[in-house]
């Protein structure tokens, strides 16, 4: 175990500790994850122990003093993948308090963005020193700030930040795109147009056209769909990740869009043979 550098980042009025014993894998103490999500620390610790085999690779014990403690003690800390992993294990669907559910989703977005941003910044500085990294980091900090908006996807924001940093520095930053969190790490109630279509006996292209006609999305000259202001309440833009790094974006929707748009009532009639 090692004593580590600790910094704090704000989340909804709380100061969340970030552990930097490994700059390539900044981590959050399990206790702070409990505070941020409103879970009892002992219950979250038991959840971690039940899933230790799954989470161990992304967890580590770090010694530091906290609160009124004088001597450093061992604390379980989770890196980005570990935080996403334990949040996936929370019984999110059964939580009835919408405010608490929103807080958990907000923390997931916050942690994913904050830790990803720190990973990218650390790697840029390590690879290139201070020669031009400060310019790139400023773009990433601004992208991180924007990503906390509820309708901005963290991966998308960081991808744009890297693209703008490439323009400003003239450097190829494509290796760092691999650090962008893939869309699969989000666990909200978001589904694809194809999944919506299958659930209500429609075809995917019919769903897309209906959402466009009802003002939830629009299509540009290339045929790609984008969210309108109205659509931002129900849809999100997700980064599409591949083994080679970030490659594009796609839309997903909350299932509530079916009711909100009266899609089921207005679906085309099918003639059954």
Domain CATH code at residue 41: 3.10.260
122 and 148 co-located in one domain: yes
Task: Dig out the tokens for 49 from the structure.
Answer: 């122990």
pTM as predicted: 0.51
236 and 195 co-located in one domain: yes
**Of 141, 145, 138, 252, whose CA–CA distance to 189 is shortest?**
252
Q: For residue 228, with 0-12 CB atoms within 10 Å meaning exposed, 13-18 middle and 19 or more buried, which class applies? A: middle
Instruction: Give the domain extent around 227.
Output: 189-260
> What dihedral do alpha carbons 72, 28, 77, 19 form, nearest 10°?
-50
59 and 38 co-located in one domain: yes
Per-residue burial over 161-172, b if 16 or more Cβ lie within 10 Å, else e, is bbebbbeebebe
User: Mean pLDDT in the chain?
Assistant: 78
What SS3 state is found at 11?
strand
Neighbours of 112 (CB within 10 A): 24
Q: Report the domain count for the chain.
A: 3
76 and 132 co-located in one domain: no
Is the pLDDT score of 74 beyond 50? yes
Assess if residue 269 is contained within a domain.
no
Q: Rounded to whole angstroms, how far apart are CA atoms 50 and 225? A: 42
Is the pLDDT score of 57 beyond 80? yes
Helix, strand counts (H, E) of the chain: 10, 10
Please identify, among 155, 184, 213, the residue that sits at the C-terminal boundary of a domain: 184
Assess if residue 266 is contained within a domain.
no
Assess if residue 222 is contained within a domain.
yes
Counting other chains too, the contacts that 264-272 makes at CB distance below 8 Å and 24 or more residues apart are 264/200, 266/210, 267/200, 267/201, 267/202, 267/206, 267/210, 268/202, 268/206, 270/201
Span 82-128, pLDDT tens digits: 998 898 887 666 777 888 888 888 888 888 888 887 877 676 666 66
120 and 82 co-located in one domain: no
Span 171-226, pLDDT tens digits: 777 766 666 655 444 445 678 898 898 888 899 999 999 999 999 998 877 778 88
Please identify, among 153, 184, 215, the residue that sits at the C-terminal boundary of a domain: 184
CA 69 to chain centre: 33
106 and 179 co-located in one domain: yes
For residues 244 and 129, which has the higher predicted lDDT (pLDDT)? 129
Element (H, E) at 133: helix 133-147
Span 119-138, pLDDT tens digits: 776 766 666 655 666 777 77
Q: Rounded to whole angstroms, how far apart are CA atoms 132 and 10? A: 27
167 and 227 co-located in one domain: no
9 and 34 co-located in one domain: yes
What SS3 state is found at 267?
coil
3 and 58 co-located in one domain: yes
Assess if residue 67 is contained within a domain.
yes
Assess if residue 71 is contained within a domain.
yes
Please identify, among 184, 214, 246, the residue that sits at the C-terminal boundary of a domain: 184
Span 255-266, pLDDT tens digits: 888 888 888 888
For residues 37-60, average pLDDT: 90
Query: Does residue 234 contact residue 256 with C-beta atoms inside 8 Å?
Result: yes
Those residues whose C-beta lies under 8 Å from the C-beta of residue 170, and which sit 6 or more positions away, are none
């Amino acid at each position: 175990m090692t004593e580590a550098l600790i910094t704090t980042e704000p989340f909804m009025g709380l100061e969340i500790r970030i552990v930097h014993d490994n700059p390539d894998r900044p981590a959050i103490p399990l206790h702070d994850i409990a505070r941020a999500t409103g879970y009892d620390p002992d219950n979250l610790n038991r959840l971690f122990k039940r899933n230790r085999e799954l989470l161990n690779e992304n967890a580590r014990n770090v010694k530091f003093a906290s609160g009124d403690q004088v001597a450093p003690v061992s604390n379980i800390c989770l890196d980005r993948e570990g935080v996403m992993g334990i949040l996936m294990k929370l019984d999110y669907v059964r939580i009835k308090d919408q405010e608490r559910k929103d807080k958990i989703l907000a923390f997931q977005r916050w942690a994913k963005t904050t830790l990803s941003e720190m990973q990218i910044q650390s790697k840029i500085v390590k690879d290139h020193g201070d020669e031009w990294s400060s310019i790139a980091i400023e773009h990433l900090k601004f992208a991180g700030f924007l990503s906390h908006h509820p309708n901005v996807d963290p991966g998308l924001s960081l991808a744009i930040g890297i693209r703008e940093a490439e323009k400003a520095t003239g450097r190829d930053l494509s290796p760092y795109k691999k650090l962008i969190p893939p869309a699969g790490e989000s666990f909200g109630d978001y589904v694809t147009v194809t999944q919506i279509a299958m659930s209500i006996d429609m075809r995917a292209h019919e769903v897309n056209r209906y959402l466009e006609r009802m003002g939830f999305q629009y299509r540009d000259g290339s045929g790609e769909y984008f969210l309108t202001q109205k659509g931002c309440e129900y849809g999100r833009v997700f980064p599409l990740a591949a083994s080679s790094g970030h490659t594009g974006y796609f839309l997903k929707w909350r299932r509530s869009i079916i009711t909100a748009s009266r899609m089921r009532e207005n679906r085309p009639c099918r003639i059954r043979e």
